[in-house]
Amino acid sequence: MAEPVPISRRPDPDALERVASALGARFGNRFSANSSVREQHGHTLTWTPNQPPDCVVWPHSTAEVAEIARLCAANRVPVIPFGTGTSLEGHVNAPQGGVCIDVSMMKRIVAVHAEDLDCVIEPGVTRKELNEHLRDQGLFFPIDPGADASLGGMASTRASGTNAVRYGTMKDNVLSLTAVTASGEIVRTASRAKKSAAGYDLTRLFVGAEGTLGVITELTLRLHGIPEAIAGGICPFPSVRAACDATILTIQSGLPVARIELLDDVQVKAVNAYSKLDLPERPMLLVEFHGTEAGVKEQSGRFGDIAAEFGGGPFTWATKPEDRTRLWQARHDAYWAALALAPGKRGFATDICVPISRLADCVEETCRDVAETGLLAPIVGHVGDGNFHLNVLCDDQNPDELARTKAFLERLVRRGLSMEGTCTGEHGIGQSKMKYMAEEHSTATLDMMRAIKQALDPLGIMNPGKMVSV
């Protein structure tokens, strides 16, 4: 749990007052210091306590973001970038107060270069908005975290989702970006060329930096053609291990599966109730294949053979697009479905990622741990990447349950790390996982990250109290 910040870390009250009054005068009704607005912007989907910023401003352009950043830098006031507030690890909290830059009014789709399979957008555009815009041109953007998050936030947290096994993560799908630095400079990281060897990879440095190095104000994204044919469906398995083993063999066989998602039986029950489906309440893989008609038929057949080897089946096809959409919307709503299992409890959502050879062991040990600890914690996973999620449903007013939950979450991370994995595959560090940075990385590695942070944000005002900052 994030500790209260020492009062000394708060900005100077006079400086803050100067900044707030200058922003109020400059941005008018695109500025607010209203307490409910502030609380909304310290909002987080999970258990992290709310730490609101001192004020919120809604810029329209990169130039306006730079203006705000310069003002904050001159007064040593923290800056917290905000997209849709769907972070799970406290990324948008303001432990030291400061100015929240809400990019939700930066929603222009600047250009779609269909012929180059890329587009240029502002950071407030959400993934669904972008795909709505692209559909007529036969293009799509594949990265799909559960929430309909802003693409700026998705880049900042190196987001991923159900298609990552085939299309990669935000790391692989941002060609270039524009960011405003801690001192209010405007930096464009790369050209629109598909590849370049001209300098340090600043694009990848900002992707996943969680707003601690600057505010992303424009993105050039790689797009993909909507596949000619899509086939998918559900395949129940006798156990979570069997489903994981089938996943491992699918990946090792080089089958270019587009999506391969695990739901354990608890999650399937939750999804059935929340999304009014009637899936068999057993561990299950949701799979999807993209390609030509002949290609997806061949891939599906091979997957069916693999599943059968591990006792999986019968495979049920979702042949109609609307059935497929309903199924994947249900998958994306897994978080809410889990919460609905235990009204009044909070969701402690977390994710880890391990090399796929360790996936079955890791998930199976985790299931056993959930049972032994007496917790309710549905599991979903982008298992093709070795990445899985738990949503521990916890009454955080019950000290014993809270203590058991926290101890379980620590064991989970350590289990992942002991299997050569990472403490987070896609949710990020934010505030909640800072303590694991020193377990995952060596002192020298963390020192290097801190040296970069210090060099690019010497005043420590860019989204402070997250990732590596102290």
Residues 301-360 that bind a copy of itself (CB under 8 A): 353-357
Does residue 314 have a cis bond before it (omega within 30 degrees)?
yes
| 118 DSSP β-pair partners | 113, 222
Place of tokens 């469906």: 233
What's the sign of the alpha-carbon dihedral 424, 428, 429, 433? Answer: negative
State how far the Cα of 143 lies from the Cα of 161, in Å rounded to an integer: 6
Span from 35-43, 97-105, 180-188, 373-381 in contact with a copy of itself (CB under 8 A): 180-188
One residue of 17, 129, 148, 298 binding a copy of itself per CB under 8 A: 298
Cβ proximity to a copy of itself: between 407 and 451 the closer is: 451
204 binds a copy of itself (CB under 8 A): yes
Q: Are strands 99-102 and 55-57 parallel, antiparallel or unpaired?
A: parallel
Please identify, using beta-carbon distances, which residue of 224 and 411 lies nearer to a copy of itself.
224
Q: Is 136 in the site for a copy of itself (CB under 8 A)?
A: no
User: Is residue 172 within the footprint of a copy of itself (CB under 8 A)?
Assistant: yes
Distance of CA 26 to the CA centre of its chain: 33
Options 14-22, 43-51, 194-202, 268-276: segment touching a copy of itself (CB under 8 A): 194-202
Tell me which residues in 249-268 interact with a copy of itself (CB under 8 A).
251-254
Out of 39, 185, 305, 410, point to the residue binding a copy of itself (CB under 8 A).
185
Q: Which of 392, 433, 462, 465 binds a copy of itself (CB under 8 A)?
A: 433
Among 18, 43, 60, 171, which residue interacts with a copy of itself (rule: CB under 8 A)?
A: 171
351 closest CA partner among 260, 419, 439, 412: 412
Residue (149 or 209) nearer to a copy of itself, CB? 209
User: In this structure, what are the phi and psi dihedrals at residue 401, rounded to the nearest 5 degrees?
Assistant: -65, -40
Please give the C-alpha separations between residue 114 and each of 111, 133, 138, 379, in angstroms, as whole numbers: 9, 12, 9, 38
230 is a site residue for a copy of itself (CB under 8 A): no
With CA atoms as reference, report the closest residue to 420 among 350, 357, 349, 351. 357
Residue among 192, 305, 329, 410 that touches a copy of itself (CB under 8 A): 192
Residue nearer to a copy of itself on the CB measure, 274 or 436: 436
Among 40, 48, 424, 432, binds a copy of itself (CB under 8 A): 424
Buried b vs exposed e over 66-95: b needs ≥16 C-beta within 10 Å?
bbbbbbbbebebbbbbbbbbbbbbbbbbbb
Of 215, 214, 212, give the one whose Cα is nearest residue 468: 212
366-405 residues in contact with a copy of itself (CB under 8 A) are 385-387
196 binds a copy of itself (CB under 8 A): yes
Written as one letter, the residue type at 106 is: M
Nearer to a copy of itself, 37 or 117 (CB): 117
> What order do you get walking across the sheet with 316-317 strand by strand?
316-317, 229-236, 284-291, 259-263, 379-382, 387-394, 346-353
Which residue number, 34 or 445, has a Cβ lying nearer to a copy of itself? 445
* Residues touching a copy of itself, count (CB under 8 A): 93
Looking at the Cβ atoms of 248 and 270, the one nearer to a copy of itself is 248
Indicate whether 1 belongs to the interface with a copy of itself (CB under 8 A): no
Interactions with a copy of itself, residue window 94-133 (CB under 8 A): 113-118
Q: Which stretch binds a copy of itself (CB under 8 A): 43-51, 53-61, 163-171, 278-286?
A: 163-171
Among 40, 169, 300, 469, binds a copy of itself (CB under 8 A): 169
Residue of the chain from 32, 40, 189, 432 that contacts a copy of itself (CB under 8 A): 189
Residue closer to a copy of itself (CB basis): 117 or 342 = 117
Phi-psi region of 10 (alpha: psi -120 to 50; beta: other; left: phi over 0): beta
In Å, how far are 14, 104, 463 from 58, measured between CA atoms? 22, 7, 17
Angle at CA of residue 94, ends 211 and 428, nearest 5°:
45
Q: Which stretch binds a copy of itself (CB under 8 A): 49-57, 258-266, 342-350, 420-428?
A: 420-428
CA angle, 251 as apex, 302 and 203 as ends, to 5°? 135
418 binds a copy of itself (CB under 8 A): no
By beta-carbon proximity to a copy of itself, the closer residue of 340 and 446 is 446
Question: Do 252 and 229 touch, CB atoms closer than 8 A?
Answer: no
- Which C-beta is closer to a copy of itself: that of 32 or that of 183? 183
Cα separation, 42 vs 52, whole angstroms: 4
Applying CB under 8 A, which of residues 8, 25, 136, 195 lies at the interface with a copy of itself? 195
Nearer to a copy of itself, 220 or 275 (CB): 220
